Amino acid sequence: MKRLIVIGAIMLMVVGMVSVVRAGTTDTMTLTVNVTATADVTIYATDYDFGTVALNSTSISTTSTAVRNTSTDGAIQTYELKVSPGSSGWTILGSTAGQNNVRIQAIWNASQPSAITDSTDFDLDEDGKNSSATIFAGNQTGQSVSSGVEKLLWFKLWTPENSSTQGEHKFYLTITATLGAG
């Protein structure tokens, strides 16, 4: 009986070794690489002045704001745009109805647009929106921008229907670059 157990154990070991050594017709292994890339964006303007604009009217910027992917390591990036009302006393909204509500739109375009479509796709807000094939898209986009590429940004201001203040109002645009297609 002992001899039968020993022979059985030897047979199990041989079968086990054969299965370890035996290969199929295909096999797979994993190759891993850790790539570093840095998102880097530069806005080539420190401000834009719409000038004097009456209440309950609109104005499209007359010059563009150049935005460049200034990463030096080939990073492809997508831009998030958001605007802050600062201490303007006005609220950023998708409508100018009521008091102190301002609407600001943005569009990526190679030349000054004659109009910007009345769509929320172009509305800037305080939370921020990622550029895409439809969001802020004119004949350019702020999505999947290659290293060294410059895009042009234009603005449309919709002043409040009513305002409790007059004089200069300042808003602050922030563009954040993230890696990838967004």
Residue 40 binned pLDDT confidence (cut-offs 50, 70, 90): very high
Residue 61 token pair: 């910027």
Check: pTM over 0.85? Answer yes or no: no
What topology does CATH give the domain 41-179?
A: Immunoglobulin-like (2.60.40)
Stretch 17-35: mean pLDDT, rounded? 76
Residue 181 binned pLDDT confidence (cut-offs 50, 70, 90): confident
Per-residue confidence (pLDDT) for residue 163, from 0 to 100: 94
Q: Enumerate residues 6+ apart whose C-beta is below 8 A from 59.
A: 50, 51, 53, 156, 157, 159
- Nearest Cα residue to 161 out of 96, 93, 104: 96
Tell me which H or E stretch contains 106: strand 101-108
Task: Give whichever of 34-38, 116-120, 139-143 has the largest mean pLDDT.
Answer: 139-143
Helices (H), the chain: 2-21
Other CB atoms within 10 Å distance of the CB of residue 58: 17
pLDDT tops 70 at residue 177: yes
Whether the Cβ atoms of residue 169 and residue 107 lie closer than 8 Å to each other:
no
Stretch 47-53: mean pLDDT, rounded? 96
- Using CA atoms, how far apart are residues 152 and 45, in angstroms rounded to an integer? 11
Per-residue confidence (pLDDT) for residue 180, from 0 to 100: 84
Give the tens place of pLDDT for each residue, 106-120: 999 999 999 999 999
Per-residue confidence (pLDDT) for residue 22, from 0 to 100: 56
Give the tens place of pLDDT for each residue, 71-96: 999 999 999 999 999 999 999 999 98
Q: Enumerate residues 6+ apart whose C-beta is below 8 A from 79.
A: 41, 67, 130, 131, 142, 143, 145, 151, 175, 176, 177, 182
